[in-house]
Amino acid sequence: MQEKKKIVVLDGFTVNSDDLSWDELGALGDLTVYDRTSQTDEQEVIARIGDAELVYTKKVPITKNIIDACPSVKFINMLATGYNIIDVAYAKEKGIPVANIPTYGSAAVSQYAIALMLEACLHIGHHSETVHAGKWENNIDWCYWDYPLIELDGKTLGILGLGKIGTRTAATAGALGMKVLAYDPYPTNAGRAVADYVDFETLLASSDVIAVHMPLNPFSKGLINKNNIEKMKDGVIIVNNSRGQIVVEQDLADALNSGKVSVAAVDVVSSEPITKDNPLLNAKNCIITPHISWASKECRQRIIDCAVANAKAYIAGECINIVNK
């Protein structure tokens, strides 16, 4: 009888906060799930991996030191799409396949981008809070609004990055009556069906709303900066639920405080959890949510389902979703 493979999940809480199940993964071996593991204490990570063969991580880095200290590890799986926290090159050198969870959240992240845009235009949350606080019942008029309410029909949305998420965002914006422009170095027919591809400078100058859907790479890092904000329309709205490091946060805060940017709505920041000195916390008209675009129950179930499929494929000797081939 084949010995059960040892499997460890280092930080499973955000994926499954007791509303889902690890049972299918547990059926494949001897499973240990930790809610949280230190992202900085390598000795704790090493101790928790122990002699496990399959290791799952969401935010806990898997470094060269950890790989060397845990020779039993034969398979590493990110519980996400991005895998920059894993030394994938060294894992490849050691013959360890690294898998990820691709395209689990395109619908939800796109939906959230639209929600951020709508909130930036309508401030629904704010007005609900004021009603609960008694402002409406004590108002001399039958209605009131504390911010300008913006109609999106006829406005131009510029999307930076027209991949799967950006394409879905473009389609929804089109249904709202918006003209959609996109900048992406790799145009697709699916993209052409929902947006007009333009160069970067044209998008900045023409858009009433700019939505960021780019991956973090050398081009996109710091792309929303003082110089590029100056090229945007006065009163532009900026939406970012992609990667926080794409925005130079002090530059965006300055633009919000000056009115150059009318509203920013972000679900990501450069350092997470957010730190109290983040300039966006004290900027005018800045909506910030805690990196939850991906966190619908449906998305998290797809993560677990793919994690199980990846493990089954590894055990069968036919690895899938490998990022370090």
Same-domain check for residues 100 and 117: no
Residues 94, 154, single domain; the answer is no
Q: Is the pLDDT of residue 69 over 50?
A: yes
- Average pLDDT on 42-61 reads 98
Host domain of residue 71 = 5-104+297-315
Mean pLDDT of the chain: 97
Considering the candidates 24, 42, 44, 291, report the single residue annotated as catalytic. 291
- Coil, strand, or helix at residue 131? helix
| Predicted pLDDT of residue 1 | 47
Determine whether 213 is an active site residue.
no
243 is catalytic: yes
- Does residue 195 lie within any of the structural domains? yes
Q: Specify if 20 maps to a domain.
A: yes
User: Containing H/E element for 24?
Assistant: helix 23-26
Q: Any idea how long the chain is?
A: 325
108 near 85, Cβ under 8 Å?
no
Q: What's the longest Cα–Cα distance across the chain?
A: 79
Q: How many domains does the chain have?
A: 2
Residue 317 confidence (pLDDT): 96
Catalytic residue of the set 93, 201, 230, 272 = 272
Q: Are residues 88 and 161 in the same domain?
A: no
148 within domain boundaries? yes
CATH number, domain at 118? Answer: 3.40.50.720
3-state secondary structure of 5: strand
Is the predicted pLDDT of residue 6 greater than 50, yes or no?
Answer: yes
The answer to whether residue 30 sits within a structural domain is: yes
Q: Which residues pair with 264 in a beta bridge?
A: 238, 286
Same domain, residue pair 55 and 122: no
The reply to whether 195 and 260 lie within a common domain is yes
Return d(Cα 289, Cα 67) in angstroms, integer.
Answer: 34
| Percent residues over pLDDT 70 in the chain | 99
Q: Which two tokens stand for residue 300?
A: 């998290």
Q: Does residue 199 share a domain with residue 111?
A: yes
- The reply to whether 147 falls in a domain is yes
112 shares a domain with 81: no
Do 36 and 123 belong together in one domain? no
> Are 112 and 100 members of one domain?
no
Let me know if residue 324 belongs to a domain.
no
Establish whether 272 is a catalytic residue.
yes
- DSSP states of 209-254 as a string? EEEE-PPPSTTTTT-B-HHHHHTSPTTEEEEE-S-GGGB-HHHHHH
Its pTM stands at 0.94
Measured CA angle at 172 (ends 170, 178), to 5 deg: 70
- Answer yes or no: do 48 and 162 share one domain: no
CB 78 within 8 A of CB 58: yes
Residues 121 and 245 grouped into a single domain: yes
Prior bond of 273 cis (ω within 30°)? yes
Can you read off the two tokens belonging to residue 33?
């799930």
Mean pLDDT of 226-235: 98
What pLDDT, on a 0 to 100 scale, did the predictor assign at position 156?
Answer: 99
Confirm whether 325 is domain-assigned: no
Torsion angle defined by CA atoms of residues 143, 148, 152 and 156, in that order, rounded to the nearest 10 degrees: 180
What are the structure tokens assigned to 167, written together? 């394409």
In whole angstroms, what is the distance from residue 117 CA to residue 217 CA? Answer: 24
Same domain, 213 and 115: yes
For residue 322, is it within any domain? no
146-175: average pLDDT: 98
- The active-site residue out of 48, 243, 249, 300 is 243
pLDDT value at 3 more than 80 = no
Quickly state the pLDDT bin for 2 (edges 50, 70, 90).
Answer: low
E strand or H helix at 13: none
